[in-house]
Structure 1
Amino acid sequence: MIHYNLTCENGHAFEGWFSSSDDYSRQVSARLITCPTCNSASVTKQLMAPSVSTARKKEARQALVMDQAQKETITKLREMVKSIRENAEDVGERFPEEARKIHYGEADQRGLIGKASREEAIALLEEGIEVAPLPVLPDDTN
């Protein structure tokens, strides 16, 4: 996992953890990262000092290791995401359009997955269309 110090356009500082720098870039481009203080999606990385390994840092990292219950939860989440993907139609960028068709009875009821911007997801929710993002889980190697 990669840790970044982030700042929104209003100067609020917060941090984020990402599976890779590409994961960070993808989430910023999709405007999925928002400031916990003002909800702004205009977010940038801040300069950070390199991490130097010390005995104290090693102890701190060991405290971050997942316990068995956390591992079981991640495993269950991974199974849930797999099941959803296997039992839903991936409509890609057409997700908002297809979700509306189903909601308003213009298409048969079925499970959908796809892509929607933050604004599109909010609009769907405001129309009473239930949507939720699939969780992004830590890599198997972490």
Structure 2
Amino acid sequence: MIQYSLKCSRDHTFDSWFQSAAAYDKLASAGMVTCVVCGDAQVDKAIMTPRVRPARNAQTTELQSKQVDVATPPADIEKVLADLRRKVEENSDYVGKDFAKEARKIHLGDAPERAIYGEAKPDEAKALIEDGVPVSPLPFLPTRKTN
């Protein structure tokens, strides 16, 4: 496995793991490496610093103590996602697992046109897209009521 720092044509930077350098080259040439921020397919390797393991007896340096946990998104991203969730929930109807069926009915004119959100299996979403139904995945899971 190899980790690359990547950069899209819109200057978004992100990291990704690949099975090998050849695997990255194959995926990139097929247009299958896309920016995690904007979806841009024009992605190149960015300049990387090598990972060198410190000596066993080395003390923690100031740089090491200031490492950022990339698994935890910054607070401003969480705020943007929370605002997006609120707007979606306030301005559209939750149709649950009937999303694909309801979206298709709206597209065909068999149901009144309105904004909806819900859940669909990957094959259902793919079929909607292939049939020209305008759908888009949301960057969060719907809140389910358990009782």
Q: TM-score, normalised by structure 1?
A: 0.48
Bigger relative contact order, structure 1 or 2 (CA pairs below 8 A, ≥6 apart): 1
Larger radius of gyration: 2
Q: Which has the higher helix share?
A: 1
